Structure 1
């Protein structure tokens, strides 16, 4: 039966061999990627995502006008303080709807 030191030496030798093979395969993979990039006209910027433009959301038009002229679109999310005060007092937010 091999000793710990012998097994450790074998493991280190295998790791070195695996790294050499990885480097050889890596070079081939990089060459394939470069060829595909050239074939399809892909730039490094295309891969980084910096060339993409994010779709911006259009701001919803206001549906409600508060007692002091505040505007609210009525969309999802936290309601403005003035809306919460009206609702907490038992008021009807529809009284503040902007006529379209």
Structure 2
């Protein structure tokens, strides 16, 4: 009986660690996978995957794109547009000097 418990616990630890590794891999490389998957014409799931997994992905150091993961978990593009995820809905906002547009997806 003791041998069975040891084998069962070791197999559970092995299965759990494999599951955690797979989930981490899918979260970290989700933008790459989304860019290479088949999709319909005009669909671009890369931005959604980047926003959903903002804490796991590598963030490029460019002057046009800024990732704000501390406060709002948003992606700012050229200081005029942003893409955010708020209460299970996606928002795309564009601000031009004194007026702004918001698109809910």
Identify the TM-score tier after normalising by the shorter chain: 0.3 to 0.5
Larger Rg: 1
More helix by share: 1
TM-score normalised according to structure 1 size: 0.33
Specify which structure has the bigger relative contact order, considering alpha-carbon pairs within 8 angstroms and separated by 6 or more residues: 1
TM-score normalised according to structure 2 size: 0.32
More strand by share: 2
